[in-house]
A and B are shown apart, each in its own frame.
Chain A
Amino acid sequence: MNGSRTARLHLAIVFAALVLLHFYVRPRLFDTRLAPDFLLFGLIVFAMRSGPGAGALAGFLVGLATDALSPARFGAAILADTIVGYAAAWGRAVFFADNVLVNAGFVAVGLWLRDLILLIASGTPQGQLLIELGVYSPLQAIITAGAGALVLLAFRQWFAVRLEG
């Protein structure tokens, strides 16, 4: 088994664990609005270790699942996650993707960007939009980035994550 296949296997295992966390553990432990979004974290981790096309496709699939499960405007999450996945894949070329803080920052920014696109695409009123983007999204972004950093540290051998800056 070569290194590329091993890395993909590790990524699949981690992504499966994140799906489990998102759909089984998160409803039990956290308040839904501020709970960490493990699906988006998985999308960004995957996109940062893949190409832009694969990142966009992964975002599309994650958005499709999100739109199918939540009764918001269908397509908004698809669009948002596609853009976030594509941007995360491009961000790998700009920043040091093997640093845990960079990964956490990517997750935080990606979540806020996802919420921005999602809220605009779903036609959210301006007042609610400001509250969501100014209060809840930053809080959820910080929480998701923290949880993502813990996951990255737990699997740092698989992701070749550096602790120093």
Chain B
Amino acid sequence: MFIGCVILAVAALFSPERITGSLASGLRQTILVPLVWLQEEAELGRSSRARLQTLMAERDSAAYAAQVLPSLSAENERLRNLLGLSHRLRTPYVAAEVLHQAQVTDSRMLLLNVGTAQGVSGFDPIVAPEGLIGVIWNASRNTSVAMTWSHPEFRVSAFTANGSAFGIVAASPNSAGTDAYLEFRGVPYRDSVVPGTVVLSSGLGGVYPKGIPIGKVVGVIREEAGWARVYRVRPAANPGSTAHVLVLTGRRVLSVAEAYPSDTLEPAAPSDSAAEPRPPALPISPGNPPASVPGRARADSTVKLKPKPKRAPPDSARPTPAPAARPAPAPAARPTTPPAPPPAPVRPDSTR
């Protein structure tokens, strides 16, 4: 048997390639088919495992990208809004990035990545596509600190979009955290403001140009001595979630109303901390007084659209100091500037 096998093996060794090739091919296609199939399956399994690892790596990469995508989309949207605002602005401005800090007071004072080297100086207004953010508190060479509307000492002279009421807007002392609101103070008792009314900066005082959206009136907080009302205002812009802002560097900017047309006066994004459900819009009629002044406001005072001449109080900011030379005071130690002398009455057609 052994000799026979060896002879056959040697014969196969020295057989022509044509014969051995056809013999091997015949074996592979008949008897060895199961073995070839087994080996194919094994190779397929091995390559499948490699492909699975590749696919898992790609899936992990895609999952990581998907996690980042919403924030990128939101930032893209903010930048587009900011770009639209910058196109509408006809005043000098500097685009800045907000460097948020991990502190609970981050929304009161913001650190910006622009400073005097970029033309920023103290008391420059800061705006976002949604509206007013605050004002430059002090500026160093490449960075600056901004006081936002949520700071307790923030003040801005404001008026309603229809020009019916003037007052001072300040941060509500009772609002904190997720319930941040502004107060529209000093509105005469006879001038009721309908909920939903947009409040704009009046331009009085020389710091904030006229026409920057501040927020929307959502109701009455209290009355002061029976002659004035304090309204609650939902802020238009949220400093806590703002990543990019514009610093208005023009010194004698009187109005930026063209940068905020009426169709852009929308409330702040729902992700902000000041979000609150708005009250339903009520039809204004003589028999249906607005909900902001329940039982107190007369119906005919709420439907008045023709503005009357008012004595508009100015905002609290001082006119154009030298911020670079001025030492930066601590926010808590800085006293609120007393109101300036009352300005001349504002003509109705100048408010809008």
Contacts and interface: CB of A to CB of B under 8 A. Distances in A.
Interface of A: 19-20, 23-28, 52-54, 56-57, 59-60, 63-65, 67-69, 73-76, 78-79, 82-83, 86, 121
A68 B24 CA distance: 4
Contact of B15 (A19, A25, A63, A74): A74
Interface in B1-42: 1-2, 5-6, 8-15, 17, 20-21, 23-24, 27-28, 31-32, 35-36, 38-39, 41-42
A57 B1 contact: yes
Contact of A59 (B5, B27, B41, B43): B5
A74 B46 contact: no
B2 A75 contact: no
A56 B24 contact: no
A27 B28 contact: no
B38 A74 contact: no
19 contacts: A23-B39, A24-B38, A24-B42, A25-B42, A27-B42, A54-B1, A56-B1, A59-B5, A60-B9, A74-B12, A74-B17, A74-B23, A75-B9, A75-B11, A75-B14, A78-B13, A79-B9, A79-B10, A82-B9
Contacts of A25: 42
A139 B304 CA distance: 100
Interface residues of B, number: 31
Contacts of B43: 27
B42 A28 contact: yes
B10 A75 contact: yes
Interface string B35-58: 110110111011001000000000
Nearest to A52: B2
B13 A121 contact: yes
Interface of B: 1-2, 5-6, 8-15, 17, 20-21, 23-24, 27-28, 31-32, 35-36, 38-39, 41-43, 45-46, 49
A20 B13 contact: no
A74 B1 contact: no
B8 A26 contact: no
A56 B13 contact: no
Given A75-B11, A78-B5, 17 more contacts: A19-B35, A27-B39, A28-B46, A52-B1, A54-B1, A60-B5, A60-B8, A60-B9, A65-B32, A67-B12, A67-B20, A74-B21, A78-B13, A79-B10, A82-B2, A83-B6, A121-B13
A21 B39 CA distance: 10
Given A68-B24, A74-B24, A24 B13 contact: no
A52 B42 CA distance: 34
B5 A57 contact: yes
Q: List the 4 closest pairs (A to B, CB-CB), nearest first.
A: A75-B12, A53-B1, A75-B13, A74-B20
